[in-house]
Amino acid sequence: MEFDEYKTPDDIYARFKVADAMNELAACSSLGSNIRNYYRYGTFKDCAARYDHLKFCLAIKTKSSQVAQVMIQKRDAELRAKKRSMPNSEDVWTARTHPPEEFVELSRQG
């Protein structure tokens, strides 16, 4: 799910179609998907985020465009904050200030 600005009221609902959310939830909880996940990672898939997305899609369908847009912006901000708080590659890797010694030695030999 991308975080976009909304230009028209139709754009507000573009990412929040109930049918798409139901399809994503069904794909996540399907037997084949769970078998693959269990084989690769040793656990079944956690589809809670997709279920929450479906509930949110259903919730905004009954709201006016202005209220729905505020709800979407608030949810997007929460998702951004959650994503920023999660570990990322910068937590694992450190930036190099010079090449590794092995690389320098190999480049001198070759």
Per residue in 2-26, pLDDT tens? 545 555 656 667 788 999 999 999 9
Per residue in 26-50, pLDDT tens? 999 999 999 999 999 999 999 999 9
Residue (of 52, 82, 83, 71) closest to 13 by Cα position: 71
One DSSP character per residue, 34-82 reads HHHHHHHHSS----HHHHHHHHHHHHHTTS-HHHHHHHHHHHHHHHHHH
Q: For residues 75 and 93, what is the distance between their CA atoms, to the nearest angstrom? A: 30
Q: According to the model, what pLDDT value does residue 101 have? A: 80
pLDDT at 72 over 70: yes
Residue (of 10, 3, 24) closest to 72 by Cα position: 3
